[in-house]
Amino acid sequence: MAKQKKQPRPKAETPKGFRDYFGAEVTERQEMLRQIAEVYDRYGFDPLETSAVETVEALGKFLPDVDRPNAGVFAFQEDGGSDDGTWLALRYDMTAPLARVAAQFRNDLPNPYRRYTMGPVWRNEKPGPGRFRQFYQCDADTVGAASVAADAEICAMLADTLEAVGIPRGDYIVRVNNRKVLNGVLEVAGLSGDDQEHERGIVLRAIDKLDKFGPDGVRLLLGEGRMDESGDFTKGAGLSEAQADTIMGFMDAKRDSGAETVARLRELVQGSDVGAKGVEELETIAELLAAQGYGPDRIVIDPSVVRGLGYYTGPVYEAELTFEITDEKGRPRQFGSVAGGGRYDDLVKRFTGQEVPATGVSIGVDRLLAALRAKGRIHGTRQGPVIVTVMDRDRMADYQAMASDLRAAGIRAEVYLGNPKNFGNQLKYADKRESPVAVIQGSDEKDRGVVQLKDLILGAKLAQDATLEEWKSQPAQTEVSRADLVQEVRAMMERHG
């Protein structure tokens, strides 16, 4: 009888394009989500949680992925893969599930309906540096309001949110445009026909690459195409010189003031009704924001904003961080976009057959956290718990009681649960946990009703650069009454902030 082949051990590794989050990364995200939720709540938005799984039919068109056509989602078929089984997919954003909710519960929800939602989304796209297949989004949307006052409100709320999480005024700008204006420019350029949908898509993606490729690179994409540094060629829209001039003129329409930008856009869309309507909407948004005190130091009209997704039908906006960071090659560059959104009046219509106006914004939480780390406003570290060491296995109840007293007072604490035989290993564990204080009580201390408190933060500082005199004058270990344990631990921690 042949010997059965032994199954190889599974590899302990995350799937390609995914990552794990530890300790401080998780708590920093939770704190940011709390801060964002507070702003959204003040604006009257209600929380909503939808399923992570939707029907492929409900999600609609998959996200475009140039390298993997029609592979934008993680999908699977029910009923054992039979031909008539329902196809399900992990949500790729928070907007498509909202459209389904707005249609499904339209008789129960208030109109307009304001909601915010936070959670992971999944995209079956080609991963790359800093580009993961699972990431967090934080969305806020208003469904049922046709007025561009809803768009202006979203922009104001976005600016307030950035400041609430620690991005000061001057380090960000919210840029606003209108897809109707762009559609008007495309119409003037002779690109409005049904047979030119493919070319329009390439134009949209080209404009969206302005920050990455610059005007020259975009112009190549509007023409025959562009070859990158690796030699890969991207086919362009094939526009004529005159058509490309019109598009580039639109992208260069930003002026020193919102009024001047609007005036220039009005010139560019002459002869297009939809373009003129878009210019009027931009003008109204600018007036509403100015009346609330949101000047050009926070929100500006910028024609270069187009947003890549095809479902936007009106105003679009993007929040960009304007401070410089250093890239992986040591070159200075601006951090870039951390949030974006716009109006999508046709999305709910897929379910109801009736147009339902909607507008909203999505914040890339992971990118925003990365920005705060780059600015040194969060540090990716978290203070560990107080460690109650174990000197006597038979007195575990005493040690657990100490930890319980500390927890009841709101102090993170844990009892060392490893092998207590080697006390040095307990202190190494405390160091690895970045603990501020170690509590020590042997039988002698127990008999005298005291505990030893080891200030691990001070001890580390003294060990690093203190003189002998400083070491003696600032002992890192002190003896206190067991009855004063909580009070003395808190005082020791407060000395270090």
Distances (CA, A) of 258 to 115, 157, 181, 436: 30, 19, 15, 53
In angstroms, the CA 359 to CA 343 distance is 4
Q: Do 242 and 185 touch, CB atoms closer than 8 A?
A: no
Output the DSSP codes for 258-299. HHHHHHHHHHHTTT-HHHHHHHHHHHHHHHHHHHTT--TTTE
pLDDT tens for residues 173-222?
999 999 999 888 888 888 777 777 777 778 878 877 777 788 888 888 88
- pLDDT class of 471 with cuts at 50, 70, 90: very low
Please, are residues 307 and 342 in contact by the beta-carbon 8 Å criterion? yes
Q: Is the backbone of residue 357 left (phi > 0), alpha (psi -120 to 50) or beta?
A: beta
Choose which CATH entry (3.40.50.800, 3.40.50.10490, 3.20.20.150, 3.30.1330.40) describes domain 386-494.
Answer: 3.40.50.800
The predicted-structure confidence for 398-417, as pLDDT tens digits, reads as follows 999 999 999 999 999 999 99
Q: Where in the chain is the domain with CATH 3.30.930.10?
A: 150-344
Structure tokens of 152? 């202006």
Task: Please check the confidence at residue 1 and state whether its pLDDT lies above 70.
Answer: no
Of 108, 135, 111, 138, nearest in space to 122 by CA = 135
Six token digits for residue 433: 């946990």
**Where do the CATH 3.40.50.800 domains begin and end in the chain?**
386-494
Q: Which two tokens stand for residue 180?
A: 């109707």
CA–CA distance, 128 with 131 (Å, rounded to integer): 5
Using alpha carbons, select from 458, 177, 478 the residue that is nearest to residue 316.
177
Nearest CA-CA partner of 298 in 171, 111, 438: 171
User: CA-CA distance, 219 to 213, in Å (whole number)?
Assistant: 10
CA dist 450 and 454 (Å) reads 13
% of residues, the chain, pLDDT over 90: 50
Judge: domain 150-344, CATH 3.40.50.150. no
pTM for this model (two decimals): 0.81
| Contact (Cβ atoms closer than 8 angstroms) between residue 326 and residue 332 | yes
Residue that has been written with the tokens 């995914």 in this structure:
18
Q: List phi, psi (to 5°) of 363.
A: -100, 130
Cis status, amide bond into 112, omega within 30 of 0? yes
